[in-house]
Amino acid sequence: MRRYILFFLLCVLFFLLPLQAFVIGDYVGIGIQGAVYRLQWTGYGTFFFPITRELVFVLNGTYSGRTALSVILWLAGSVLLACTTIYAFFHLDNAEPGYYRQIAYGLIAACGIWLGSCIAQYGIIFHSAGGFSIPLGILLILGWVAIIPIYQKFSERLAGPEE
């Protein structure tokens, strides 16, 4: 099976792909947020925040209320993505029948938690006085999850019959 491709895509998703774009307030700043980082541009400068620093802001009380809840949910989704990626790595050569299904469930749950984070920060329509969010990367992941069964059938066909 060609499970290495799936693992590689999970790593790209984890470290590179921006999952949401956002606007702060009344266009005070803009930014993108991936699973383990947030990058924002404001009139005060360009800032890069790893998820660990966001967690420190919550623990120190710098973030509170909706923002703290949003960061905690985002961290939970990122931890779930990390667990899914680790699972994909450790089962690359194993012929488990539920491999692709479990990865799809992990990605769906992570996307649900991330959408919950966006809703906690910006409201149910992803727009509030604090700005607005465009969770395009999250929706792309859900589209990718829909392709996983097709990829599974394709990779099984390439591998040929097992002996």
Predicted model pTM: 0.86
Q: Distance between CA 38 and CA 59 in Å, rounded?
A: 18
Residue 35 carries which DSSP code? S
pLDDT the model gives residue 11: 76
Q: Is 50 exposed, middle or buried (0-12, 13-18, 19+ CB in 10 A)?
A: exposed
Reported confidence tier of residue 1, pLDDT bands at 50, 70, 90? very low
Write down the mean pLDDT value for the chain.
Answer: 86
Mean of pLDDT values over 107-119? 95
Cβ atoms of 43 and 28 closer than 8 Å: yes
Domain definitions of the chain by residue range: 3-159
For the chain, what percent of residues have pLDDT higher than 90?
A: 54
Tokens of 140: 């792309």
What digits encode the pLDDT tens for the residues 43-86? 999 999 999 999 999 999 999 999 999 999 999 999 998 898 88
| Confidence bin at 163 (pLDDT 50/70/90) | very low
